[in-house]
Amino acid sequence: MPIKAHLNAVTKTSHSRLRRAVVFAKKRWRSLKAVGRLNTDMNTKEFISTLRRSRDKQLIFANDNGSSIHSGYHLTELKAATFDTVDCGAQKNNWNETIVQLWVPASETDETFMTAGKFLSIYDKVSQMIEIDPTAEIRFEYGAKNFFPSNYHVDSITEDQESIRVAFRPPETTCKAQDREKNQCADSCC
């Protein structure tokens, strides 16, 4: 096969694969949009289900640098938050979040981490008192010397024989109007 014909065949195959990938991405985006979940952030049900499978393991929270929250942390509050907002594009938005507040007392000396089972007992008690949306993103409010105070996303969860490690990701500011414009362009392109 001449080189030019070979290059044309490779280019057609590449374009075909790219078109299929774009179509798949559009379908995925539409399905996420339909359920109100345009990101890959962990929802409350996913997080709690992970803990239920490993009740006896220590629960360790870490930032994006790998530094962990002190072992003597307390779960001080669970919040079922509803946000009703209007963005700079004059569009109304609303969503729910489950916010878990963690705190370490200044004089804490406990060297053991909370177990997943203890976290679940607090969660289960609170969820009988207030309605927590299982599809809401779960976020963690925390701040200390090695953690800038914020409501962190769950970036990942890993497990070993003794522990569950929850890695936090700091939030990023975004412009919903600009995001919508980019997504509309993605729908109309190709």
pLDDT at 21 over 70: no
pLDDT score recorded for residue 106: 85
Same domain, 53 and 91: yes
Same domain, 31 and 90: no
Q: What is the DSSP string of 88-141?
A: TTS-EEEEEEEEEEEE--TT----SPPBHHHHHHHHHHHHHHS---TTSEEEEE
Residue 140 in tokens: 């963690």
Better pLDDT: 35 or 145: 145
User: 71 and 102 in contact (C-beta within 8 Å)?
Assistant: no
Domain containing residue 148? 44-178
User: 90 and 76 in contact (C-beta within 8 Å)?
Assistant: no
> How far apart are the C-alpha atoms of 68 and 52, rounded to whole Å?
22
Query: Could you tell me if residue 61 is inside a domain?
Result: yes
Determine the average pLDDT of the residues in 26-46. Answer: 59
pTM value is 0.74
Return the bridge partners of 75, or none.
Answer: 102
Q: Please tell me what DSSP assigns to residue 68.
A: B
Same domain, 26 and 80: no
Confidence of residue 178 (pLDDT cuts 50, 70, 90): confident
Determine the average pLDDT of the residues in 152-158. Answer: 96
> How far apart are the C-alpha atoms of 47 and 156, rounded to whole Å?
10
pLDDT at 38 over 50: no
